[in-house]
Amino acid sequence: MIQYFIAGLIDRFPAEENNALKMSINSTPVTVEWEDNEAVAALKAAVKDKPLTIPMSMYGGFEQVGSLGMSLPRNDTRITTSPGDVILYSGNQMVVFYGSNTWAYTRLGHITDKTPAELTQLLSNGNVTITLTY
């Protein structure tokens, strides 16, 4: 009886994450609070039917950068990033920060379930692969 009750709750209140853009770093899922902007909307549309795999490269000792293979709408503003920021650079590259930098970027989101130390461990030991799914 409890199983039927729980199944009914799941049907009535489906998990929001089923309709969310999801990200993993080297197969490690991370929770991202995505921005509500045109770039993220375009990214969601691009991965709706097929995951996007982005080979990333370490750069500058504080970030991983990779080509999206497409251009997204830009709304660049000069910002100072913090560890966990997920950024659009030049309209066609994703950057994930484990350090800080100041430049003109479009914000995509922020990783909320990792500490700066965990992000450094995850991102600073060589190139990584980012996978986006919807």
DSSP three-state, residue 38: helix
Q: Is the pLDDT of residue 8 over 80?
A: no
Q: Can you give the pTM of this predicted structure?
A: 0.85
pLDDT tens, 81-123? 999 999 999 999 999 999 999 999 999 999 999 999 999 999 9
CA distances from 17 to 20, 23, 47, 67 (A): 5, 11, 15, 25
Residue that has been written with the tokens 């660049």 in this structure = 76
Domains of the chain: 19-133 (2.40.100.20)
Mean pLDDT throughout 61-65? Answer: 97
